[in-house]
Structure 1
Amino acid sequence: MEQNNIESQIKSAIRQPKFLVVSSYRRACGIAQYVEFLELPLRDQVDFDVEIAALPVDLLRSQSPYARAAAIKEFKEILLKVDQADVVNIQLEPGLFGFTPRQIWRNLNAIIARSKKVIITYHTVPPMDAERFRLSRAGLLNYLRDWRGNYVFNRLFAKVRKNPKKFQHIVQTAREAKNFGLQGIPGDTITHRPLAFVSEPVRREMSHEAAKTEVSMRMNIEAGVLLGCFGFLSQYKGIEVAIRALANLPDNHHLLIVGGLHPEGVQKGNVEQPYITKLIREIDKHRVMKGRVHFCGALDNDEFNQVMLACDAVILPYAEVGQTSSGPAALALDMRRPLYCSHTKCFSELDRYQPGSVTFFEVGNHIELAQKLAKREGDAPSRIDARARYLEKYSVEHRAAAYFVAAKRLLQG
């Protein structure tokens, strides 16, 4: 007993390096969801004292003078935590840090300036294939989005190049790592790994059959094949492609649409939200769809996981928008779910980590999707084997370990 007390006193006397994560947290946001899953394996290790500082995203993005005053007060509290940290991890999506490019950079730069060492996790990267400006609403929005990103990243990379030993960088694909090197970021400071969410202990307790039984009862589905689309309801998600594919499948196939409108995408003062209206019209075109499309709404993490686990196939029919990673795709692989994705750069890069883990169909081709679902191509032995091999190399535990490897490099440098 005395020996244990002495060991405990020695351990408490040794100060652990403080590892601070600055991110959105506990809100309707894909990055917040990622951090909430990452938190458990981060805290399980013993080498660092881990803390999470939640960004006041809504306040930072508001243009109200009252909100701005409140944002300044909360942001100062985050900076005090930054001062006390040995390593600061910034979960970087520019829109989390403000509304205008100048405001975003001011806030991001304030954190970097006050940090001793910095690990940046990039959920958005500089556009390498930006389109030429087109005289249209969509063209203007794309131009402004790219300009905002370039404004922030130009300044960020200039700061990194001046003091590269202060930084480590975590990106989601090998392509991003290569592009960062072309931007003058030293290769030995860049780590690339796919997103991951579900821990091994949680995965061991998961049962597809039990989840399917529970979700089917809740959704009043007697029997059949459950297909699922996941994520915020946005135009580029292509959910109408999945609905058209469903119309070409037997009546025992059901489509679960999991997710709500993104808070930033809700049109104020209008109950006719354009994308939802589009989906309803698509359903109304096909009489055979009655009772086979189920809107599940926005779910918390546990409910979201339960519905995905229940699905016989996960469908992500996204348009090509230059997206670099997908949380739902990574989560589906975590859960060993058959995964059907449109052939975009994002999903192609994910499949490169373990070829064969994703079943592809061409963007917008609902007939091809329906045919592959009907053949259950995602359940082929080679696909099952590929998904198992993927999890041996890429999990949330591996992901958390990468953060601490980066942190130790910084502290030893």
Structure 2
Amino acid sequence: MSQLRARRAGLLVGTVICIFIFLYLRNPTPEEPEEAPTYPVVVECGFYPDELCSALFEGKGAASQIAKFCKNPYGSQILAHLHTPGNCSRISQGLHFITRPLSAEEGNFSLAYIITIHKELAMFVQLLRAIYVPQNVYCIHVDEKAPKKYKSAVQTLVNCFENIFISSKREKVVYTGFTRLQADINCMKDLVYSKYRWNYVINLCGQDFPIKTNKEIINYIKSKWSGKNITPGVIQSPNSKSKTSPSDSEFTLKGNIYASPNKGFKGEPPHNLTIYSGSAYFVLTRKFVDFVLTDIRAKDLLRWSKDIHSPEQHYWVTLNRLKDAPGATPNAGWEGNVRAIKWKKEEGTGHDGCKGHYAQEACVYGPGDLPWLIQSPSLFANKFEPSTDPLVVTCLERRHRLQVLRQAEVPAEPHWHFQQQGHFNMKLNR
């Protein structure tokens, strides 16, 4: 009886808190100055707090305050599926993976993904199921330094899908080091030799999340970059201080400023190449990937890159500026809405400030950043830390799935829907 009473007491407390949240968000009093309310150390917001997410997307300050005290709503559920013995059908359905192409257009245009991960297992699953469709192919690079339990859980998930695999060669990835670039190259080799035919490859890390659907990503590529690679970057002015010298190993990346062209390197670049600087993240054509893996200039540049700082910020953009490279964009600059990032140095000009906190000069998003994120034209956003602000990814994921199902041209399977709980469905900005 004592256990039963304890359960009833817990349910009663949870119900009271949920009612409080609902009434607080639905009945704001803007005419009076808001005082900082007192909250419990942790609030159980319910597994699927759609009303709270909706308020966050609308930019309501009270919602952001409440969200700070919410537990991770589904991290434990995701991990339970990966650590509990069961068949693959139970895993794919329990984790709400899309299991059929959602339109003819999408079925005829396959994307390849490279995802490098080392932590935040639940976040990885949320990212993967957001971008997953059966006609795409996914290479997962798990950092060789990751714990055995982490690797085992990823392997359990990967084993349930023919079009997802772990990179055959894994690196001990070091931030700003050559191994970060090599990890992408390793996956590219696996993707080229896989049985899957794909049109473009996109690389991501475990702190990324899509803010566009698979259909929207394809439409963006076709309409803006048909047959072209997207590698945002430029030649830096000659008077910029070099940040790529091997002796500058303690340099912390700041914004989009990386290096001046061919200044401060250990040696001259091979083939008299002009070194460009830009994003480590890309959208590349299949033909360009073949070029990267076979062209003598690309091979020599890769060897030369072992001696420079953050080579991934130079390698892709430099090769894509070669006029004879497949899908090259020799005259491109920072064009290409691949990734939304709030850089600290751009606060007040490029964005309205970070509502979470900065790490390596980039914003780790908080709930208050959600209105900015959903208005961004970019395909993906970075950075997210569910362990710090779990509702940010949760809300984005639920909004993303509703958009996916709304755009689908086939009947939705029951398990494609996330469980609904609450008084209202989450509102979307159309």
Task: Give the TM-score normalised by structure 1.
Answer: 0.28
Larger relative contact order (Cα-Cα within 8 Å, sequence gap ≥ 6): 2
Give the number of the structure whose residues are more often helix, by fraction. 1
Give the number of the structure whose residues are more often strand, by fraction. 1
